[in-house]
Amino acid sequence: MDQNITVAMAQLAPVWLNKSGTVEKAKEAMLEAAKKNADLIVFGEGFLPGYPFWLSLTQGAKWELPVNKELHAHYANNAIQIEAGDLDSICKLAKELKLAVYLGIIERAKDRGGHSLYCSLVYINKAGEPKSVHRKLQPTYDERLTWAPGDGHGLRVHELNGFTLGGLNCWENWMPLPRAALYAQGENLHVAVWPGGDHNTKDITRFVARESRSFVVSVSSLMRKTDFPAQTPHLEKILENAPDILANGGSTIAGPNGEWMVQPIVNEEGVFCHTLALSSVYEERQNFDPVGHYSRPDVTQLVLNTERQGTLSIKP
């Protein structure tokens, strides 16, 4: 019998820079996805507690500017420490609902001292267990002012309903070698998370699907001027230069033939579900498999370093 998976795309605005509020919004989305019989729910890049939009609105690169220092400190205080239990309630609900989760977080990683921030993508299985934390390899442009570069430790895949899942953050999806590392591990359902915008998802989603002969689920957040909480530090300064819509969504799904299954959804908040059939992958791999019969490992090979990078190694 064919194997299917129902994927829920959580195209939502976070309770921006509010950890507890965004956790609750994520849990509400999980409950909605479970009611729709979803097997997997995906949230956008850095959804918890939100994307650092202020960087392009407040002279983010200016040295010693108090507004940027204070916003960064606020961001850090609302970032996620997995070791401290910040995702425990989400993991508990995932177990209760038997719902797998790909969740974009801003991680204040304790194993790197607990002060720097990483844009991380966490996979939680149906048993409520975090199975991988992928820290974005290369923050993009002004993101480098607030996020640190990650490593290959989280470049791994996960089995779900017969599918093999892997995921990347935003412009990592344009990086050929990280994509190839996931393909080589058997990925056939690629999860691409974004801060929001069909300008990101409308081309790369279909390209990766066509290249990999896999399903590609791109999930973006929303952010409108009206979504900034009133208690946000320096809110007037942020809104002064902010457009009405900072992120319009663009969540979408392409099939293994590179054609749309769900066209980009813009300017609409919600939890959108679609069911995928694994047989489509095998149909498209008949003529092209980038790491199988259409590869030449005797000519080109990729080396993947999955070691978690750190500045301290304690030896007895």
User: What's the order of all strands across the beta sheet hosting 270-277?
Assistant: 130-135, 117-124, 100-108, 40-43, 4-11, 270-277
Q: What ranges do the domains of the chain cover?
A: 4-285
Residue at token pair 């991680």: 107
Residue 310 · residue 135 · CB < 8 Å: no
Characterize the bridge pairing of strands 189-194 and 222-224: unpaired
Residue-level pLDDT at 2: 74
Residue-level pLDDT at 316: 86
Concatenated DSSP letters of 208-253: HHHHHTSEEEEEE-EEEGGGS-TT-TTHHHHHHH--SEEEEEEEEE
Residue-level pLDDT at 197: 94
Residue 151 has, within 13 A of its CA and on its CB side, a CA count of 11
Catalytic center residues:
45, 136, 170
CATH architecture of 4-285: 4-Layer Sandwich (3.60)
Residue-level pLDDT at 39: 98
Q: Measure the CA–CA gap between 121 and 27, rounded to whole angstroms.
A: 17
Residue-level pLDDT at 62: 92
Q: Which residues of the chain fall short of a pLDDT of 70?
A: 1
Apex CA 164: angle with CA 101 and CA 293, to 5°? 155
Q: Which pTM does this prediction carry?
A: 0.96
Residue-level pLDDT at 255: 98
DSSP 288: -
